[in-house]
Amino acid sequence: MKIIPCPSSPLLARRVAEAAGIEIGGAVFKKFPDGELYVRVMEKEGVVVGSINSNEDLVALIFALDVLENAKAVVPYMGYARQDKVFQEGEAVSIKIVAEMLESRADEVVTVNIHSSDAASHFSKLKNLDAMPLVGEYFAGKDVVMISPDKGSMERVKTAAKHAGCEWDYMEKRRIDATTVEITPKTIDVEGRDVVIVDDIISTGGTVAETARILYGLGAKSVSAACVHAVLAENAAIKLFNAGIKDIISTDTVECAFSRISVAELIAENI
């Protein structure tokens, strides 16, 4: 069985191949002049590695899986997972459809920090790996405090902080009166501290930028952002630096300039 790298995850696929001691298989991905994708895989069995960070990534991944007789799908960033239920009548449950497309073509689907347990519930053969320990280890020995932007992400920051060996907290909303809501860390005083906001995904950057604004308002010395999936849509990185974010640290589930932590070994151990 060989590793088939999709165009969305060329480096990570090669790192996984190296870590697992598996060869890279032959495959061609190209685009016709009208924009349609062409995929050719010169293998019968394979582990297809490709994040879904665009519609095109999804098509490339599904086409490659479809060629193989025995396939595993490694989807380091599982896009479409935020549409994990019907929020408004008539909506497609995107991740349910993606799960069907993947699982009808792959014997197993491996991903990293899928957005929610609701999203994971649409799969029947999913292995969901946790990269938060790796995010934590990146900060080991650094005098930082890790903050989750909300209570929902608390478990993630708790895991990262355990591996960093640092304090952690989450932002809590408190209603002061009928018109005022205060958002602050639940217990920790961030004044004069180097803070790292930890989240699973940074997409538009709105969540992190707003959290950074509050933390600087409370006297934080510096605010950085760490995440698993640096989707960074709509010039999010510029938005974050304009909000005073000192640094962005992410894994390579979405390959970008901020991918300083690799999930290759984690994936290699699980395929």
Least Å distance between CB 171 and ligand R5P? 11
Minimum CB distance to ligand R5P, residue 204 (Å):
3
Annotated catalytic, 72?
Answer: no
Cα-based distances in Å from 55 to 37, 58, 78, 255:
11, 5, 12, 16
Q: Which residues contact 173 (CB under 8 A, 6 or more apart)?
A: 181, 182, 183
Inter-residue contact 9 to 19 (CB < 8 Å) = no
For the bound state, the minimum distance from the C-beta of residue 230 to ligand R5P, rounded and expressed in Å, comes to: 10
Closer of 201 and 267 to ligand R5P (Cβ): 201
In 3D space, the residue among 83, 81, 86, 85 whose CA is nearest the CA of residue 102 turns out to be 81
Site residues (vs ligand R5P, CB under 6 A): 149, 153, 199-207
Catalytic residue among 30, 142, 173, 186: 173
HSE-up (13 A, CA, CB side) for residue 229:
25
Least distance from ligand R5P to the Cβ atom of residue 103, Å: 24
List, as own/partner pairs, every contact residues 88-94 make where C-beta atoms lie below 8 angstroms and the sequence separation is at least 24, other chains included. Answer: 93/122
Rounded (10°) angle between helices 94-103 and 55-67: 20
Q: How far apart are CA 117 and CA 111, in angstroms?
A: 13
Task: Please say whether the dihedral angle defined by the alpha carbons of residues 178, 189, 231 and 58, taken in this order, is positive or negative.
Answer: negative
Query: Environment class of residue 144 by beta-carbon count within 10 Å: exposed (0-12), middle (13-18) or buried (19+)?
Result: buried
Residue 106 CB, shortest distance to ligand R5P, in Å, is: 26
Name the residue nearer to ligand R5P (CB basis): 22 or 93: 93
Structure tokens at 192: 């004069």
Name the residues annotated as catalytic: 173
